[in-house]
Amino acid sequence: MGIQEQYRTDAANLLDSGAVKLVIGYGEGSTPERRRPIFIRSAEEVGRLVLDANCIANLSAYLVPEGLLSDGKSVAVFLKPDGIRSVNILAAEAQLNPEQVVILGFNIDAGLANPLPGRKANEFAPLLASLKSAGLSTDLQREADRLEQMTAVERFEYWKEQFSKCIKCYACRQVCPMCYCRRCIVDVNQPQWVNTSSHTLGNFEWNIIRAYHLAGRCVACGGCDRACPVNIPLRLLNHRMSKEALDTFDHFAGESADQKPVLATFRQDDPETFIL
C-alpha cells in the first residue's frame, strides 16, 4: 500500500473511532501540480486526501485559530519535519497542547513522500535531533553567502531594493504558524504604533519586526517566502536569524515541546558577547 492509501485509511480510522474530530491534509488544487489545504470531518471524505511530493505547505498554522482545540478534542494533521517542529514551538509557547495533535508525519525525498513513524510530537525527537546535528542550510545558500560577504552598506541597499517591492499584504504573517498573535503589533491602532503606509520606511519597519519576532522560532518551512506575491527572499532573513540562535545559544527551534523560548529565557552561561 502506498503512503497516500495508508494515510487515507489511518485518517478514516482516526475519524471513525472518534480519536480525532478533524483531519487537516492536502487535496488536489487548481492545476495538476498544486495542492491545497483541506479539512476532513468524516471517514467518507478521506478519498479527497492527496499525499505526494507536491505537498509542501506547513499546515500547522491551521491548528492555532481561536477555539479549534478549546473543546479538548484532538485534531490530526499532515506534517513534514518542519511542521512537527512548529507544533513543538506552539506547545512550548503554550499555544496548544501537543497531546491534542495527532501527526500524520511524512518527509519528501527524491520526489517521493515517505511516512515517518510516530503519532505525537515527542515521538519524533530522534528525527529532530538528527536534523539539528545535520546543521542549518538553505536552498539559497549561495545568495546567503553572498550577503555575508557584503559590507553593511551594501547589505542595506540589497534589502532596501527587496523591501521596496513589499505591498504589506501580510501574506508572510498570515501563512506563518508562529504569527498567532490575536492582534499583530502593526494592527494596534489606538494609537497606531507602526505606520500602515507601504513606502520604503514602512516596509522596513514591517519586515524587520517580522524577522525579529521569528528569531529562534522559525523552522524554515519557507511558507512566507512562497506566499510572498512580490518575491521577497524572506527565507534569507529567517535563515540568518536561525543561524544566530544556533551558533550563539545552541538553539534549534522546535527541537522539543519543553524547549525554552530562546529570547524569553536567561541562562547563567549565556554568552554575552554582544553586551558592550
Partner 1 sequence: MTRILLHSRVDDCLSAWRSAGFRVLAPSKRNDLTRFDEVHAASDMALDLVLPERTIKDHFFPQTEPLLNYRIKKQAIESDEMLPPQQKRIFFGVRPCDASGLEIDDALFGWDYKDRYWFSRRENSVIITIACTRADDFCMCTSVQLSPDSTKGSDVMLHPLKDGRGWRVVTLTDRGKELAETIASMLQEDASETAPAASVPVKFDLDKVTSWLADPSNFESHLWKEVSQRCIGCGSCTFLCPTCHCFDIQDEGDTYSGIRRKNWDSCSFAMFTMHTSGHNPRNTQSTRWRQRIMHKFNYYQGKFGVNSCSGCGRCTRQCPVDMGITETLQEITNLPR
Contact call for residue 170 and partner 1 (CB under 8 A): yes
- The one segment of 79-87, 112-120, 127-135, 172-180 that binds partner 1 by CB under 8 A: 172-180
Contact call for residue 181 and partner 1 (CB under 8 A): no
CA dihedral 88, 92, 98, 104 (to 10 degrees): -10
Q: Is 96 buried (19+), middle (13-18) or exposed (0-12) by CB count in 10 A?
A: buried
Of 12-31, binders to partner 1 (CB under 8 A) are 29-31
Q: Which of 8, 80, 85, 168 binds partner 1 (CB under 8 A)?
A: 168
Q: Which of 38, 46, 76, 147 binds partner 1 (CB under 8 A)?
A: 38
Binding mask 64-93 for partner 1 (x = CB under 8 A): ------------------------------
Size of the site for partner 1 (CB under 8 A): 39
Of 223-262, binders to partner 1 (CB under 8 A) are 223, 226-227, 229-231, 233
Contact call for residue 161 and partner 1 (CB under 8 A): yes
Please give the angle made by the CA atoms of 41, 47 and 49, to the nearest 5 degrees. 75
Q: Strand 22-28 relative to strand 35-40: parallel, antiparallel, unpaired?
A: antiparallel
User: Is the Cβ–Cβ distance between 128 and 85 less than 8 Å?
Assistant: yes
Contact call for residue 202 and partner 1 (CB under 8 A): yes
Contact call for residue 160 and partner 1 (CB under 8 A): no
- Minimum Å gap between C-beta 157 and partner 1 is 12
Binding-site ranges for partner 1 (CB under 8 A): 29-31, 34-39, 57, 61-62, 161-162, 165, 167-171, 173-175, 187, 189, 192, 195-199, 202, 223, 226-227, 229-231, 233
